[in-house]
Structure 1
């Protein structure tokens, strides 16, 4: 038997995230921390799936996510590691 679906998918918002939704998610996680992603959307007042909230947080909203171009030193490290380790 498989896992129960994460949500009903009825009445959920899809597509681009708004700045207001980003702010709600960031504020909720700042106050309560990362916990149950399944219950987070309802508790935070978002009409999104828990998986969508988790991916938005991990890939875009976390403070330690680096944006922009990589430096020359970072590029050199990547090339050196690729030469050593390959595509592992």
Structure 2
């Protein structure tokens, strides 16, 4: 016995996200916060799966997400922490 599927995959968009969809997702989360990802697409008016919305937010749209190369200071911190605590 497993969890029920998050959605019936019929009628959902797949593939690339549009700028409009990104804007809807960002605005919805700004107003309501990160809550139930399963109900978010319906409440926000998106034709996407909840899992797709969650992954889009976590991997691309979060405001605290840093993109690009790490700085020399960040690299030194990583090396120092790795030597101290290992691969935990």
**TM-score > 0.5 by shorter chain:** yes
Offset at 1:77? 0.6
Offset at 1:35? 1.2
TM-score, normalization by structure 2: 0.92
Say yes or no: does 1:71 pair with 2:71.
Answer: yes
Offset at 1:85? 2.1
Q: Deviation above 3 Å: which 4+ runs of structure 1?
A: none
Could you tell me which runs of 5 or more consecutive residues in structure 2 were left unpaired when the two chains were aligned: none
How many residues matched? 88
Could you tell me which runs of 5 or more consecutive residues in structure 1 were left unpaired when the two chains were aligned: none
Partner of 1:19: 19
Provide the rounded CA distance (Å) in 2 between the counterparts of 1:36 and 1:83: 39
TM-score, normalization by structure 1: 0.92
**1:27-68 residue CA offsets vs partner (Å, 9 max, x unmatched):** 111111111111110111111100110111111111111111
